[in-house]
Structure 1
Amino acid sequence: MNYTLNQLRIFLKIVEKQSITKASEELHLTQPAVSIQLKNFQNQFPIPLTEVVGRQLFITDFGNEIAVIAKRILKEVEGINYKLLTYQGELAGRLKVSVVSTGKYVIPYFLSGFMRENAGVDLVMDVTNKSRVVESLEENQVDFALVSVLPAHLNLNKIGLMKNILHLVGNPKYFEKVKLGKKSFAKDTPLIFREKGSATRAAMENYLTEKSIAVGKKIELTSNEAVKQAVIAGLGCSIMPLIGVNNELERGDLKIIPQKHLPITTTWNLVWLRNKKLSPVASALLDYIDAKKEEIINSNFQWIQRY
C-alpha cells in the first residue's frame, strides 16, 4: 500500500458528493485529475471501491468502509498539525459554525478579524435553513450556530450580536403602496414567503396570525436571495430582513412599504449547547466577540439606523 493523503482527501470528497464531477468542482481540480487520483487509489485494492451503473457512480460497501477509515486518518493528521501550532504558541484548531441563510450577511463580520489574528484556525461554516441549523446543534456537529429565533426545546447558552429588523418591501415600480389589513389587503398583491423551516417565514407568519391578516395570493421560494429577486421583478411583496436588502434599497430597486406594527425586530444570537465543553478555539472566539462586538457593529452596520 502506498496511497497518499491527497488520494484519501479526493476519495472522501467523491464519496461525499457521489460524483467525480461535483468532487472536482469543490476541490477546484479538473475532472481528469480527480479521475486519475481515484484510479491510482483504486489500483492499490483488489476489491472495487466504486462502481458505475448506467451513468451513475456508486460507492461499494468496501469503499464506504475505506472512507470511514480515511476520514479518521485525515482527522488524526489534522490533529498533528494543530498540535504543532499549539506547541509553537499559536491558537490552532477547527471552528465549526452553522448559520441560518440570512445570517450570511451578519456572521462574516464577527469572524473575519478573529480569523486574521489566528492563522492556525480553520473555519467550516454551513449556511442553511433553520431546521438544518437546529439539527446540527442537536447532534453536536458544530461549535456554534447563528439564529434569530431560539429553538425552545434546546438548552442553550447565547450571546446577542445585533438586532434583526424585518420590513415589508416591494419594488416601487409595481407596489408603491400596499396595505396589510383584515379587509384592505389587496388580493391581487402576492405575498412571497420563504420555505417552511425558515426563521424569516416563522416571523412573517407569526405577524400575520397575530394581526389576523388574511393572505390572498401566496408564493413560496426556497432562499432569501430568490425571494429578493422575485420582489425586484414585481412578483409580489415580502417581509424581509433589512440586513439582506441594503444595496437594493440604496439603488431604489426595493422600497420599504410602511405598515402598522412593522418592522418586526428580533435578535441575531450566537448559540451553543449549554453542556458543551468548548474547545480553546471556540472559547477564544467568544472572548474576541465580547471585546469587539460594539466596534464591529459600529464599523459595519451603522447604515441600519437610516431605516
Structure 2
Amino acid sequence: MNYTLHQLQVFLKVTQTLSITKAAEELHLTQPAVSIQLRNFQDQFDIPLTEIVGRQLFVTDFGKEIATAAEKIINEVHAINYKTLAHKGQLSGRLKISVVSTGKYVMPYFLADFLKRHEGVELLLDVTNKARVIDSLAANDTDFALVSVLPAKLDILKVELMENRLFLISDAKMRPAKQPAEKSILETLPLIYREQGSGTRYVMEQFLKGANLNVVKKMELSTNEAVKQAVIAGLGCSIMPIIGIKNELASGDLQIVPVKGLPIKSNWNLIWLRSKNLSPVAEAFLKYINDEKSTIIDEWFDWAL
C-alpha cells in the first residue's frame, strides 16, 4: 500500500458527493484529475471501492469502510496541524460556514481579514441553496450559516450583517417607463425563477403572492449566474438581489426596472444553533464579526445599500 493523503481526500469527497463532477468542483480540481487519483487509489485494492450502474456512481460496502477510515486519518492529520499551531500560540482549527448561493457575494468580505489575522484557521465554505444550508445547520454539520430568510423551525441565534435588497431586472434592450411601473407589469413579463429551495425564489414568490399577481413563469434555473445569463440573453426578467449583479449593472448588460413596491428588503443574517457549543475559532470569528461588521460594510457594500 502506497496511497497518499491527497488520494484519501479525493476518495472521501467522491464517496460524500457520489459524483466525480461534484467532487472535482468542491476540491477545485478538474474531473480528469479526480478520476486519475480515484483510479490510482483503487489500483491498490483487489476489492472494488466504487461501481457504476447506468450513469450513477455507487460506493461498495468495502468502499464505505475505507471511506470511514480515510475520514479518521484526515481528521487526525488536521488535529496534528492544529496542535502544532496551538503550541506556537496561534488560533487554529476549522471554521465551517454554509452559505446560500447569493451569499457568495457577501461572505468572503466578512472572512478575508479574519483569515489573514489567523493563518492557522482552515475555512470550509459550502455554497448551496437555502434548503441545503438549513439541513446542514440542523444536522450540526456547520458552525454558522448565512441566510436572508430565517428558518422557522430551528432554535437559532443570529447576527444581522447587512440589508439585502431585491429588484426587478431586465436586459439592456428593455425600455422601462420613466416613472415606477405598477406591480401588475409583472403579469405581462416572462419571469425567470430560481429552483425550489432557493431563498431568492421564496422571497420572490412571497412578494407575488402578497400582491395577488398571476405571472407567466418562463423558466426555472438552478443558480444566480444562470439566471443572470438568461436575462442578459433576453429570455425574460427576474427579481434578484442587487448584491449579485454589481458588475452587470456597471457594464450595462443588466438594468433595474423601477416597480412600485420594489425593492424587496430583507437582511443577511449569520445564524447558528442556540445549542451549538462553539469552538474557540468559531467564538473568535463571532467576536470579529460583531467588532468589524460596520467597517466591512462601509468599505465594501455602501454602493448596495
CA shift, 1:37, in A, is 3.3
Judged with a 3 Å threshold, the aligned counterparts in structure 2 of structure 1 residues 14 and 152 are, in CA distance, closer, same or farther, namely closer
Counterpart amino acid of 1:192? Answer: I
Match for residue 174 of structure 2?
Answer: 174
How many percent identity over aligned positions? 55
Q: Which moved more, 1:265-274 or 1:238-247?
A: 238-247
Match for residue 37 of structure 2?
Answer: 34
Match for residue 127 of structure 1?
Answer: 127
Is the 1:95–1:281 contact (alpha carbons within 8 Å) kept by the matching residues of 2? Answer: yes
TM-score norm. by structure 2 comes to 0.89
Match for residue 103 of structure 2?
Answer: 103
Question: Does residue 1:193 correspond to 2:196, yes or no?
Answer: no
SS in 1 for 2:140: coil
Question: Does residue 1:90 correspond to 2:90, yes or no?
Answer: yes
CA shift, 1:225, in A, is 1.0
Query: What does residue range 1-307 of structure 1 map to in structure 2 within 5 Å?
Result: 3-16=3-16, 18=18, 26=27, 28=29, 30=33, 34=37, 37-39=40-42, 41-42=44-45, 47-51=47-51, 58-177=58-177, 179-182=181-184, 185=186, 187=188, 189-305=189-305
Is the 2:195–2:222 contact (alpha carbons within 8 Å) kept by the matching residues of 1? Answer: yes
Q: Which moved more, 1:236-245 or 1:296-305?
A: 296-305
Is the 1:157–1:273 contact (alpha carbons within 8 Å) kept by the matching residues of 2? Answer: yes
Is the 2:193–2:217 contact (alpha carbons within 8 Å) kept by the matching residues of 1? Answer: no
Is the 1:129–1:197 contact (alpha carbons within 8 Å) kept by the matching residues of 2? Answer: yes
Q: Which moved more, 1:172-181 or 1:213-222?
A: 172-181
In 1, the alpha carbon distance for the partners of 2:56 and 2:208 equals 46
Counterpart amino acid of 2:132? Answer: R
CA shift, 1:163, in A, is 0.4
Counterpart amino acid of 2:138? Answer: E
CA shift, 1:115, in A, is 0.7
Is the 2:182–2:259 contact (alpha carbons within 8 Å) kept by the matching residues of 1? Answer: yes
Judged with a 3 Å threshold, the aligned counterparts in structure 2 of structure 1 residues 116 and 246 are, in CA distance, closer, same or farther, namely same
SS in 2 for 1:82: helix
Judged with a 3 Å threshold, the aligned counterparts in structure 2 of structure 1 residues 133 and 27 are, in CA distance, closer, same or farther, namely closer
Q: Which runs of 5+ in 1 are unaligned?
A: none
CA shift, 1:21, in A, is 7.6
SS in 2 for 1:41: coil
Counterpart amino acid of 1:191? Answer: L
SS in 2 for 1:86: helix
CA shift, 1:70, in A, is 1.6
Q: Which runs of 5+ in 2 are unaligned?
A: none
In 2, the alpha carbon distance for the partners of 1:156 and 1:54 equals 42
Is the 1:14–1:20 contact (alpha carbons within 8 Å) kept by the matching residues of 2? Answer: yes
Q: Which moved more, 1:170-179 or 1:131-140?
A: 170-179
In 2, the alpha carbon distance for the partners of 1:205 and 1:22 equals 29
